[in-house]
Structure 1
Amino acid sequence: MGKKKVIAIDVKEITKPKIESLGLILLEMIPKLNDYNLLLLSDVAIPKKFVPSNAKVVVRNVPYSGGSDLIKYQYWMKKQCEQNKAEWYFQINHFSLFKIKGAKQIVVVHDLYPLEQLEKTSSKLKITYWVSLFLTMLNADTIFTVSEFSKRRLEHFFWKSRKVQVNYNGIAAAHISRNVNIVDGKFMLMLGRVSYWKGTIRVAEFFKKYFKNSDYKLIIAGQAKDKNDEDLMKKITNSEENIIWLDYVDNDTRDWLLQNAELFLYASRYDGFGLPPLEAAKVKTKVLMNDIPVLREVTLNKGNYVDFYGEDDMLYKSICETIEDDSREQIEEMYTVAAGYTWDAYVNRIKDTIERG
């Protein structure tokens, strides 16, 4: 058997105390790359439980601070790849600012939200994001987007290239939730970042108006990254007993909420993929999602859709009809769609790229 290839991976996302979506993708991916020698690169120490036996760890020992530190951190990783003779470099988080001598590069671009003009964004952020993606288009050998929609948007802002390919995210197998009652009574659920982007405030205010005296609670699980969003959410939840914001939740709590919700509401204005509604479908929970192209794509037009930002009466009607629909056909169709997205397929696409390289 030939010598194993050395694959370098930026894994700083798995060092966070509260691991988010990009880190969770890495945790699904890394154990499946056991045919290679892995070079795990991070700003700070990696929890030992995340380091497989086929991995070497190199740590910068300087916490990543964002902003201009992206340049310093990525240059540090470039040098580590060259010193350790990495043959491939994998970046889960959008950008590759440098060519790496002796290594081909795979970069995952999840979305182009800062460029989409869906909300007010600073010119500095837009320019920085555009320039970083421009360099990525030049430096990467393969760029994976997580949907055809994201591929088209990347090509819209830059140019068509055969190096841009679609690799849909996987969806982890459902875990039976712990036998603990986290919420009493019936509830609707929102998961994900508390933000304008995800429509969290819109749904909370709508629920306050239309379901104030209903038998349902609205449970919101997710962090607010913006102080204004945090303040708005606290203002709403402090005055409404049946709207509960749990902030960040661990995986066990997340699983319980997904499996016990009467309805999963997904009001995202924009997505690169749209994982949460498929996670809900994977545990056969009813889903009502915003009617945007990417969600139509990844759910194969098998879901329940409504314009969350249209007329209130239409949204109220759609929520009620979805909850009251006792047929299982649509739930089973959505389950089948969700079950088709596997992490094995996601990682095999990466492996195929490496082996062809």
Structure 2
Amino acid sequence: MKIVVNGRFLTQPVTGVQRFAIEIVRALINSGHSLQVVAPRGVQDLKLAEEFDVQYIGGSIRGYLWEQLVLPFYCKAQEGPVFLINLTNTAPVVLKQQLVTIHDIATFTHPEFYSKKFVLVYRVMIPLIVRRSFDVVTVSDFSKRELVNRFRVPEGKVSVVSNAISAVFDEAVEDEIKPGPYILAVSSLAPSKNLARLIQAFGVYRRSGGLCRLLVVGAGNSGDRVFTATEALSNGSDDEDVVFLGRVTDTELVSLYRNADLFVHASLYEGFGIPPLEAMSCGTACVVSDIPSLREVCGDAAVYVDPLDVQSISAGMMRVLGCQELVRQMIDRGKERASLFDWTVSAEKIHDVISRHR
């Protein structure tokens, strides 16, 4: 049976969803599994396309049209059976012999986070591909429960395959970024990321005598545009010690994590939550939202706060920054916790799911 990977994710800006796809494909290839990545034109990282030996199909057709028309036609035109792997929420609705990865169902549980058009497309597509596909993968037990309960699919049809840490986080990097004491956040302007309350909480922390600045890494809602200080501060604070760094390289991000006094992740909703895992792996104490998915990721290695309560978020910051013994405990626990997640293990789980059909 030929294994084909839906490579449309290679044409998209890299967020946590695309990172999952990249690392799973890389781990499958490095483990010696045979597969063919196919993609439309417009791949953003040509080195990555070369690494994956991408086959381009569909001429100038891209996006949803490529995925719904060109990709299934390609699969059906192959000699012998084909099993399609989809790693970033969407998949051809006409195919059954495929695996689809649904990272979360926020468009159903929190439609207010997205545009009406986006919600409509996902509300039509997701139930169809979840019910028609042979297998469904998701990234946490929390997301599995939501999928099973929402779509009434058998639990055995849904497998949990966790995110993990990219290899760059294990590499030695020069710690060039040392802008004094700071709290780090990795966020977009998406409402689910709750950046406005985080900035308000930082303002409370500063007014209470806190010395750290807040550094924010991230892009705008479109994913490819760096948001400005004016955009974010209009939602939360006018504190001049909030610094917006925009997009950074992976190496720069590692340095920012490693040198931070504290990492804060105040999301309202996550299917998994990669940034806290990255922070823990870099030896940085974490304050995170008390929501099920982040409890699942961080275990006893983080301080939990109510993401809807500005005072709770600021109190979490002050609690950690005011106790070096707590920081040391959290660093040790965080590194141990992060070591439990591994891309090779996750890729083998994907391969095991596919092997059921051989």
**TM-score over 0.5 for the alignment?**
yes
Does 1:166 pair with 2:160? yes
Comparing 50-59 with 272-281, greater Cα deviation is found at 50-59
> TM-score if structure 1 supplies the norm length?
0.86
Ranges in structure 1 where 5+ consecutive residues have no aligned partner: none
Say whether the 8 Å CA contact 1:97–1:139 is kept in structure 2: no
1:75 aligns with 2:69: yes
Q: How many aligned positions are there?
A: 344
Match of 1:351 in 2: 351
Larger CA deviation: 284-293 vs 198-207 = 198-207
**Aligned partner of residue 171 in structure 1, secondary structure:** coil
Matched, 1:221 2:214: no
Q: CA deviation at 1:92?
A: 1.1
Aligned-partner residue type, residue 232 of structure 1? E
Task: Please give the per-residue CA displacement for 1:111-165, whole angstroms capped at 9, x wherever unaligned.
Answer: 1111113636555543432221111122211101111110111122210312112
Q: In structure 2, how many angstroms separate the alpha carbons of the residues matched to 1:244 and 1:272? A: 27
Do the aligned partners of 2:5 and 2:86 also contact (CA within 8 Å) in 1? Answer: yes
Equivalent residues of 2:164, 2:343 under 8 A apart: yes
Matching residue of 1:341: 341
Output the amino acid matched with 1:15: T
Displacement after TM superposition at 1:23 (Å): 2.7
SS in 2 for 1:106: strand
Q: Aligned Cα RMSD in Å?
A: 2.7
Higher share in helix? 2
- Show the counterpart of 1:23: 18
The structural deviation recorded for 1:240 is 3.6
Q: State the SS of the aligned residue for 1:210.
A: helix
Displacement of 1:284 in angstroms is 1.1
Identity of aligned residues (%): 23
Alpha-carbon spacing, 1:195–1:32, altered in 2? closer, same or farther (3 Å): closer
- After TM superposition, give the deviation of residue 28 of structure 1 in Å: 1.8
Q: More relative contact order in 1 or in 2 (CA 8 Å, sep 6+)?
A: 2
1:152 aligns with 2:150: no
Provide the secondary structure at the position in 2 that maps to 1:107. Answer: strand
CA distance in 2, matches of 1:317, 1:124: 38
- 106 and 311 in structure 1: CA distance in 2 versus 1, 3 angstrom threshold: same
Report 1:6-45 matches (<5 A).
6-16=2-12, 18-34=13-29, 35-45=32-42
Distance in 1 between residues matched to 2:319 and 2:236, nearest whole Å: 26
**Matching of residues 170-189 of structure 1 within 5 Å:** 170-173=164-167, 174-176=169-171, 178-179=173-174, 181-189=176-184
SS of alignment partner, residue 264 of structure 1: strand
3-state DSSP class of the match of 1:341? coil
Shift, 1:51, TM fit: 4.0
Amino acid aligned to 2:330: Q
Does the aligned pair in 1 maintain the 2:113–2:191 contact within 8 Å?
no
Q: Which residue does 1:136 correspond to in 2?
A: 129
Q: Which residue of 2 aligns with 1:256?
A: 255
Gaps of 5+ in 2: none
* CA drift at 1:72: 4.8
CA contact (8 A) 1:37 1:55 kept: no
| TM-score computed with the length of structure 2 as normaliser | 0.86
Q: Specify the alignment match of 1:57 in structure 2.
A: 55
- Per-residue deviation at 1:206? 2.6
Between the aligned partners of 2:54 and 2:70, the Cα distance in structure 1 is: 16
Structure-2 change in CA distance of 1:104 and 1:252 (3 Å): same
Quote how far apart the aligned CAs of 1:209 are.
4.2
CA distance in 2, matches of 1:351, 1:120: 33
Q: Compared with structure 1, are the counterparts of its residues 61 and 238 closer, same or farther at alpha carbon in structure 2 (3 Å cutoff)?
A: farther
Spell out, residue by residue over 1:56-108, the C-alpha distance to the aligned partner (whole angstroms, 9 max, x if none). 5023343635xxxx2553221001112234621111121234333xx721111
Which SS does the other structure have where 1:40 is aligned? strand
Which amino acid in the other structure matches residue 322 of structure 1?
A: V
Residues 1:81 and 1:51: Cα distance change in structure 2 (over 3 Å): same
Partner Cα separation in structure 1 for residue 174 and residue 14 of structure 2: 24
